[in-house]
Amino acid sequence: MVRQIKSLNIEKNKFKIPYFSILGSLVIIILFILLWRPLNFGRTVYVPLNSQAQTTVTDKSTIDVGEGRVEIAEAQSNSDNVTESSDEPEDQIAPDEIDEIIDGKDNNTVQYTISRGDTLHAILLRYNVSKKDVFLLTNKYKQLANLRIGQQISWTTDDNHNLQNLTWAISSNNIRVYEKSGDKFVETSETAENVSQENKVITGVIKSSFVADARKSGLTSNEIGIITRALQWRLDFRKLQIGDKFSVVLTREKHGDRLSKSQLLGVRFKNGTKDYYAILADDGKYYDVNGASLSQSFFRYPLAKQARVSSGFNPRRLHPVTKVVTPHNGVDFAVSRGTPVLSVGNGEVVIAKYSGSAGNYVAIRHGRQYMTTYMHLDKILVKQGQQVKQGDKIGLSGNTGRSTGPHLHFELHINNKPVNPLTASLPINEGLTGKSKKAFLAKVKQIQSQLTF
């Protein structure tokens, strides 16, 4: 009997549960979850398209992705099966004097020459003009859809980007002016009198900076902006050297003593031993002396393969938890950790570091008007100041910063304003051909002979 009881005790001890060990493990797991889970306040919540969580849809939008269409649902979830991230880097790029001229910030007035493919709506939004004012103007005055290549428009905004007035020069003696009055725009017509036109050649030498020396030579802010936009892909204006030279051929139209518009016909820069040209063609765009495009093309996606969009661009996105409007200024691609991330165009890496809630963060400047940013990377493969080409691998996607799921947050900025990278109008690297090229080369001979120093 004693032997039997002893045997039972032995069997019982074999299956004795280490309660204290299990309890300790549970405490450690709970503490880890509480410490790891970020606060919900001020963060954007994204619901994956294949999520099984119960949701209440508050807003929907449909976007084109490749050949298909993806519906993005901004939703309030009753489950924890969501991906959360915060996409606000600590590091920002400080604008310089050329940025201010291109954006029209030096005097809040911008003059623009219409080129092929332009629409007034797209132009004004590209320059950060209030969307509300753009809608009020274009919705009431349908004739503004009839802009023609070579015509000029100019507009003035206040410091909050509200449109104050817009002038449309249909021809030399037919000008339409749209003035803001309360919550509407009023159209008036002007018939220009005492119109005079002059052709000018302006030359200069770099002694301090291009902007300062161009102004001293007699160029206006608008003309400086046209020059920098035309050559932004070929010439880094920040790296012009003392002694470099420039020559500009343009026409100016005056109404009495007032300069109403100017048109840049050609420009030449002597940077060290290299010459850079931009010549205006009949389509309103600038090309080099051989008719090759001065623009750069962009990839639409920063990945080698198309990926699912887990959250789309929405600058007025309502946060599903806080009910506060929290802009989502980019597109989230649902990709696994370690997926190669590619530069969508040629450019210079201006930021490559860990940057607050954005995690491992890369920002690339393309020319003077375009910038792309890539956030939450697992690994950065480039350095600040490095020149990259379209398609170069710049990092690996990850889950760094304030993010609870692997994904790539990608942004495109035009004129320092975030835009939807899936739908934005991007420059096309397309040169002249056929009759257009033949006519252009004949014009080059005439203009190039005037671009002397």
Q: Is the pLDDT of residue 279 over 70?
A: yes
pLDDT one-digit tens code per residue, 72-95: 333 333 333 335 567 788 887 777
The top-level CATH class assigned to 97-190 is alpha beta
Q: Are 401 and 358 in contact, with CB atoms under 8 Å apart?
A: yes
Among residues 61, 43, 93, 51, which one has the least CA distance to residue 348?
93
| Angle, helices 210-217/221-230, rounded to nearest 10 degrees | 130
Residues of the chain with CATH 3.10.450.350: 97-190, 195-295+430-448
pLDDT one-digit tens code per residue, 22-63: 666 666 666 655 544 433 333 333 333 333 333 333 333 333
Report pLDDT for 353.
95
Confidence band, pLDDT 50/70/90 cuts, at residue 390? very high
Q: Are 85 and 332 in contact, with CB atoms under 8 Å apart?
A: yes
Residues of the chain with CATH 2.70.70.10: 44-85+297-427
Report pLDDT for 20.
59
The fold adopted by the segment(s) 44-85+297-427 is Glucose Permease (Domain IIA) (2.70.70)
Rounded Cα–Cα distance for residues 56 and 43 (Å):
18
Rounded Cα–Cα distance for residues 348 and 369 (Å):
13
Give the N- to C-terminal CA distance of the chain in Å, as an integer: 118
Report pLDDT for 99.
73
Which residue bears the tokens 């005056």? 254
Report pLDDT for 192.
63
Q: Is the pLDDT of residue 410 over 60?
A: yes
Q: Worst-scoring range by mean pLDDT, 126-130, 148-152, 348-352?
A: 126-130
Confidence band, pLDDT 50/70/90 cuts, at residue 396? very high
Residue 412 gets the label, from left (phi > 0), alpha (psi -120 to 50) or beta, of: beta
Q: Pseudo-torsion of CA 100, 106, 109, 110, nearest 10°? A: -30
The fold adopted by the segment(s) 195-295+430-448 is Nuclear Transport Factor 2; Chain: A, (3.10.450)
Rounded Cα–Cα distance for residues 17 and 7 (Å):
18
Give the chain's mean pLDDT.
Answer: 80
Q: Worst-scoring range by mean pLDDT, 11-15, 39-43, 196-200?
A: 39-43
**Sheet arrangement for strand 152-157:** 109-113, 152-157, 163-171, 174-181, 184-190
Mean pLDDT of 397-406: 91
Rounded Cα–Cα distance for residues 422 and 244 (Å):
39
pLDDT one-digit tens code per residue, 350-375: 999 999 889 999 999 999 889 999 99
Report pLDDT for 38.
39
